[in-house]
Amino acid sequence: MTAGAAAPRAVAVARAVALVALALALGVSPAHAADPAADFRAAARLYADGDLAAAQAAYEAVAAADPTGPWADDALSEAAGIAEKRGELLAARALWRRLVDEHPTSRQVRRARARLGVIEAAIGPDGRWLDVARRHDALLAEAVRQSDPSPQAIALAQLIAEHPDYPRAHDARMWIADAWLRVGEIDRAIAGYAAAVPLAPDALARWRAGKAHGDALALAGRFDDAERVYRGLYGQSDALADRAVDRALDDLATLRLRQRLVYLAWALIAAALVTFVGWARRSCGTWRAAARALTRPPLEVIYFAPVALLLVATSLTGNRLVERAVETILLGGLVAAWGAGAGLEAARRHGRLTLAAAASHVAAAGAIVLAVVYLALLDDRLIDMIKETLTHGHD
Amino acid sequence: MRAPSFFRGPGVSTLSLLLLAAACGGDDGVDDAPDARVVVVADGGRLELPGCGYDLVTRAGAEAPAAGVDALGADPAPRQIHLGYGDAPPATSIAIVWRTDEDTTATTVRWGVAGGPLDQETDGLTYRYYSGLAGTGDLIRLHEVHLCGLQPDTAYDYQVGGVGVDGTEAFSTTATFRTAPALAASPDAEVTIGYVGDGRGGYDVWTEIASRMQTFAPDLLVYTGDVVTIGQSQDEWDEFFAGAPELLRQVPVVLAHGNHEVNAIHYYAQFAMPSDEENFAFDFGPLHQVILNDSPVDSATMAGSTRDFLDDDLAAAVTADAPWKVVTHHRSLYSSSTNHGSDTTLRALWAPVYDEHGVDLVVSGHDHIFERTYPIRGEVIGTEPADGTIYIVSGGAGADLYGIEPQEFSAFSESTHSFTVMEMRRGMLSSASYRADGSPLDSFTITKPAP
């Protein structure tokens, strides 16, 4: 027992000496050798510069130089965290364990215990899954900020296929299905979730995978399949999970209704268009004449087109000032059109519609619109913004 | 820097709510129990918290707090145990809140330094509020105990519960919390802060995120708002607590009010937060955390008292040399989401204050995405952290996701369920965001020269 205990201690001392030497070689100044705070900050600089290996070594050196000092627990924690980031899971496990054993009252202990749990769950108590876990984490890290994580999803699927008993295989399967969903490969995502359900390690994981499967089916518009999957989730977890299923089924009912209304909307549009064509055919007598009539813009379109264009242009600006101005102009235009139109209708009914009267109505309506446009442009100095945009371009 | 008194709400107009609990009196003369007419006056009120020197104030919609009295109801087992803060510093205090059946009024916390005996006992206050709209629904019984005068950076074990008139005990199992480090004593202490928001309606995702977050052992949880879809829906609040029981009884949580909370009494009654529980700030080790309500009852306050509070608080924080200044509110000043997108009105109000006082990060939600901007100052997009404030949208705790059209200010964005964990110490802030499944999403590090 004694010899067995002494040997690891000797190894630890030798390791500490080597680490101090390494840290010195990495640029932790000898002048600061007795200043753990300065050494700690030097390690932090290495980390911030992205030199993770050097930072880990430097933190370990701080802990080794003064194992009972006030910086030792933080240094071990930082070193362990970096080791995890680097995929050095055995080193990370050893560092977190040291932290728990040597600094049991440190504020870092709770994190150390939590991370030990994560690492041991990933690599297994005997470390047999270390290599798989490392490759798994490396693929996830590679996929960060990739708009298309398909290569990593394929590689991870291969890895899991080779190691179906890997403790994090379920997490990996779910990540792969999520990745397919992110890139729009919804059928692959659905297949992925479906495959993950029976292989889930526990009831909660199975429920989550099932819920994700149902969600993906709903997203794909396969409502009947989604409903079947959702209903199968009842009773698999707790009452709150059942309530989540209730909500999913409610959402599904809404999606179904919306889908039906979409069909109805398109049917109405198609029917109306067919009706228009039919009317034209009946009025004109021949299909050729009807086609000519339908391609000639009617008076309504000539009036409506500029308004529609204005509304489209407004929607493109996304600017609240412009929106407000358009509202004002359209309201002013409505008032002008009403006044001028009602007057013209009355003149026509009483047989007093002359060209001069029509022209004066148009001029009056035009004047009102111009005035309203000017007032709208002055509102909150919109006119200056437009001038600036025209002069200097969009910001 | 901090609001001067613990205040849980303005003295709003009197709202007396009556609950008529019909007695099941028999008409045969055998059951001669009198009619039970329970009158609950829910005007709110205030009472000094034992041992802390400040008041606990309840708002209209909840009854006035009362001292706990030894009495246990039919189901006195403490549940929904969670931690927060009152108006004492997080380095030396904690607030513990839990729920029981309505008839249990015993309100006691047994506590002691972690690993030792629970040799201290502190009594607290209790109050009720209605689970439904304006005096309808069940009465929810809450208990609140604040422990003050604790040692900084120290772990404590605790149990909550109480004793009945016959001596029967109903206490929870033991849990542990840790006080924040005091910057004066531990200038280089590191804290881990979790940021998450918009879990509403996504119970399954929230439970997964909560369990993933625990593996990073945060010291504090900051929620960016919209815990629930309807603020008065007690069922949804129950889901929030049920989704993270272990996390919430170990890690204090502070929240920014989200528009879906609709300033409901449920929000203000169930959490212990400093000041008026809407706009407040506190130091947590090297972090100076500001929380703002950007959907208050009176929206004019955002340009008035809230902006003034923000300005004054950040000015004081600069003087106090708080290493990291983080502001959290619900709506996002910068967001590439196609749903809400950037709130330019709020940006015009508050961004100049952030710029003036050198706020490092603004973490918000509202859009159900994850996004991190480049540093921005005066609407000018920079590249280095020193160029301005980094805005993070962390609105992916479970609600249905929104689409994204990345804008020029966006350094990274993804429509995904997510949470963010930040490690902060003097000189360095490291942020890592993860999807709900625990896979890495985004990370960045900011350094500042140590003073």
CATH code assigned at B231 = 3.60.21.10
Same domain? For B430 and B297 the reply is yes
With CB atoms and an 8 Å threshold, state whether B188 touches A45. Answer: no
Share of chain B above pLDDT 90, in %: 80
Residues 120 to 179 of B: which have CB under 8 A from any A CB? 153, 155, 176, 178
Rounded to an integer, the average pLDDT of B339-343 is 90
B335 and B221 co-located in one domain: yes
CA distance B368 to B390: 18
User: B254 and B212, same structural domain?
Assistant: yes
Residue (of A247, A251, A219, A246) closest to A234 by Cα position: A246
Task: Give the pLDDT band of residue B25 (cuts 50, 70, 90).
Answer: very low
Contact B203 A117 (CB under 8 A): no
Using CB atoms, which residue from B155, B189, B437 is nearest to A178?
A: B437
For chain B, positions 213-232, list CB contacts with chain A under 8 A: 214-217, 219
The confidence score (pLDDT) of residue A125 equals 84
Count of A–B CB contacts within 8 Å?
A: 85
Query: Domains in chain A, please, with CATH?
Result: 8-128 (1.25.40.10), 142-231 (1.25.40), 299-392 (no CATH)
Q: How far apart are CA A352 and CA A345, in angstroms?
A: 10
Instruction: Identify whether residues B157 and B298 lie together within a single domain.
Output: no
Closest CB to A240: pick one of B242, B250, B425.
B242
Whole-number pLDDT of residue B297 = 94
Q: Is residue B130 part of a domain?
A: yes
pLDDT at residue A312, as a whole number = 82
Whether A211 sits inside 8 A of B204 (CB atoms) is yes
Is B188 touching A (CB cutoff 8 A)? Answer: yes
Full domain range(s) for residue B308? 191-447
In this structure, the answer to whether residues B296 and B376 fall within a common structural domain is: yes
Dig out the tokens for B259 from the structure. Answer: 């528009």
Asked whether the CA dihedral B393, B398, B399, B402 is positive or negative, the reply is positive
Average per-residue pLDDT for chain B: 89
Q: Is A74 on the interface with B (CB under 8 A)?
A: yes
The candidate with the shortest Cα–Cα distance to B231, out of B198, B258, B271, is B258
Q: Which residues contact B25 (CB under 8 A, 6 or more apart)?
A: B31, B32, B33, B34, B35
* Residues from chain A contacting residue B401 (CB–CB below 8 Å): none
Nearest-Cα distance to chain A for B333, in Å, is: 16
The reported pLDDT for the residue numbered A32 is 45
Residue of B nearest to A238 (CA): B242
Nearest chain B Cα distance for residue A352, angstroms: 54
Q: Is B9 part of a structural domain of the chain?
A: no
Q: What percent of chain B has pLDDT over 70?
A: 90
- pLDDT for res B321: 66
Nearest CA in chain A to B411: A145
**pTM of this prediction?**
0.83
Query: Are both B211 and B331 inside the same structural domain?
Result: yes
Burial code (b: 16+ CB inside 10 Å, e: under 16) for A152-171 equals bbebbbebbeebeebbbbbb
Q: Is A47 in Cβ contact with B178 (below 8 Å)?
A: no
Which of B216, B430, B442 is the closest to A114 by Cβ?
Answer: B216
CB contact under 8 A, B217 and A113: yes
How many domains are there within chain B? 2
Amino acid found at A19: L
Cα B401 to its chain centre, rounded Å, is 23
Where does the pLDDT of residue B39 fall: very low under 50, low under 70, confident under 90, or very high at 90 and above? low
> d(Cα A12, Cα A209) in Å, to the nearest integer?
45
Which residue, B217, B219, B361, B238, is CA-closest to B288? B361
How confident is the model at residue B3, as a pLDDT? 33
Looking at the complex, does the CB of residue B441 fall below 8 Å from at least one CB of chain A? yes
Residues B63 and B169 placed together within one structural domain of the fold: yes
- B183 within domain boundaries: no
- CB-nearest partner of B427 from A41, A77, A105: A41
Sheet arrangement for strand B191-196: B253-255, B220-223, B191-196, B418-425, B428-435, B440-447
Domain final residue pick, B178, B199, B231 = B178
| Pairing between β-strand B220-223 and β-strand B191-196 as defined by DSSP bridges | parallel
| Chosen domain end from B146, B178, B210 | B178
Give exposure, B158-192, as e/b (b: 16+ Cβ within 10 Å).
Answer: bbbbbbbeeeeebbbeebebbbbbbbeebbbbbbb
Nearest to A115 among B215, B238, B437 (CB): B215
The span from the CA of A289 to the CA of A363, in Å, is 36
Residue B151 covered by a domain: yes
B442 contact residues in A (CB cutoff 8 A): 144-145
Query: Which residues of B are less than 8 Å from A247 in CB distance?
Result: 201
Q: Does B246 touch chain A (CB under 8 A)?
A: no
Which of B149, B178, B207 is the last residue before a domain boundary?
B178
SS3 B95: strand
Could you tell me which residues come within 8 angstroms of residue A366 by beta carbon, excluding any fewer than 6 positions away? A336
Residue B13 pLDDT level (bands cut at 50, 70, 90):
very low
Between β-strands B370-373 and B390-394, what pairing exists: parallel, antiparallel or unpaired?
antiparallel
Residue of A108, A145, A175 lying closest to B412 (CB–CB): A145
> Are B81 and B156 a contacting pair, CB within 8 Å?
no
Contact check, Cβ <8 Å, A240/B203 = yes
What's the CA gap between A289 and A291, in Å, rounded?
5
Q: B435: which strand partners?
A: B418
Domain match, B369 and B391 both: yes
Is residue B362 in some structural domain? yes
Give yes or no: residues B195 and B171 share one domain. Answer: no
Give chain A's end-to-end CA distance (angstroms, integer).
75
Of A37, A171, A208, the CB nearest to B204: A208
Q: Phi and psi (nearest 5°) for B209? A: -65, -40
B31 falls within a domain: no
> What does the pLDDT read at residue A394?
53
In angstroms, the separation between the Cα of residue A68 and the nearest Cα of chain B is 16
Q: Is B63 exposed, middle or buried (0-12, 13-18, 19+ CB in 10 A)?
A: buried
pLDDT of B258 strictly over 90: yes
Q: Which of A107, A147, A176, A316 would you mutate first to test chain B, the one with the most B CBs within 10 A?
A: A107
Identify residue B262 by its one-letter amino acid code: V
Report ipTM for this prediction: 0.85
Asked whether residue B354 is domain-assigned, the answer is yes
Residue length of chain A: 395
Shared domain check, B155 and B225 = no
Cβ of residue A40 closer than 8 Å to a chain B Cβ? yes
B71 touches chain A (CB under 8 A): no
CB-based burial label for A350 (10 Å; 0-12, 13-18, 19+): exposed
Query: Predicted confidence band at B38 (pLDDT cuts at 50, 70, 90)?
Result: low
Note the pLDDT tens digit of each residue in B116-144: 999 999 999 999 998 887 777 889 999 99
Nearest to A208 among B208, B414, B427 (CB): B208
Report the residue of A100, A110, A146 to disrupt the B interface, i.e. the one with the largest count of B CBs within 10 Å: A110
Tell me if B67 is assigned to some domain.
yes
For chain B, what is the largest distance between any 2 Cα atoms, rounded to a whole number of angstroms? 83
**Whether residue B303 sits in one domain with residue B378:** yes
Specify the pLDDT at position B23. Answer: 30
By 3-state DSSP, what share of chain B in percent is helix, strand and coil, each rounded to 5?
Answer: 15, 30, 50
Q: Do B210 and B172 share a structural domain?
A: no
CATH number reported for the structural domain that contains residue B82 in this entry: 2.60.40.10
| B31 has a pLDDT exceeding 60 | no
Mean pLDDT of B180-185: 91
Task: Give the whole-angstrom CA distance, residue B327 versus residue A127.
Answer: 42
Residue in A108, A113, A247 closest to B201 by CB: A247
Strand partners, B283: B288
CB-based contact, B450 to chain A, within 8 Å: yes
Contact B60, B12 (CB under 8 A): yes
B386 touches chain A (CB under 8 A): no
Give yes or no for A367 touching B (CB within 8 A).
Answer: no
Residue A364 confidence (pLDDT): 86
Question: Which residue type, as a one-letter code, is found at position A56?
Answer: Q
Closest partner residue to A107 (CB to CB) among B178, B440, B442 is: B178
| Angstrom distance (rounded) from CA A269 to CA A285 | 24
Report chain A residues whose CB lies below 8 A from the CB of B176. Answer: 110
pLDDT in tens, B407-436: 999 999 999 999 999 999 988 999 999 999
Task: Name the pLDDT band for B311 (thresholds 50, 70, 90).
Answer: very high
Residue the block writes with tokens 């997490």: A171
Judged against a pLDDT cut of 90, whether residue B339 lies above it is answered with no
- Whether residue B355 is predicted with pLDDT greater than 80 in this model: the reply is yes
- Region class of A235: left (phi > 0), else alpha (psi between -120 and 50), else beta: left
Closest CA–CA distance from residue A84 to any residue of chain B (Å): 12
Minimum Cα–Cα distance from A171: chain B residue: B437
All residues of chain A having their beta carbon less than 8 Å from the beta carbon of residue B240 are: none
Residue ranges of chain A whose pLDDT lies below 70 = 1-33, 318, 391-395
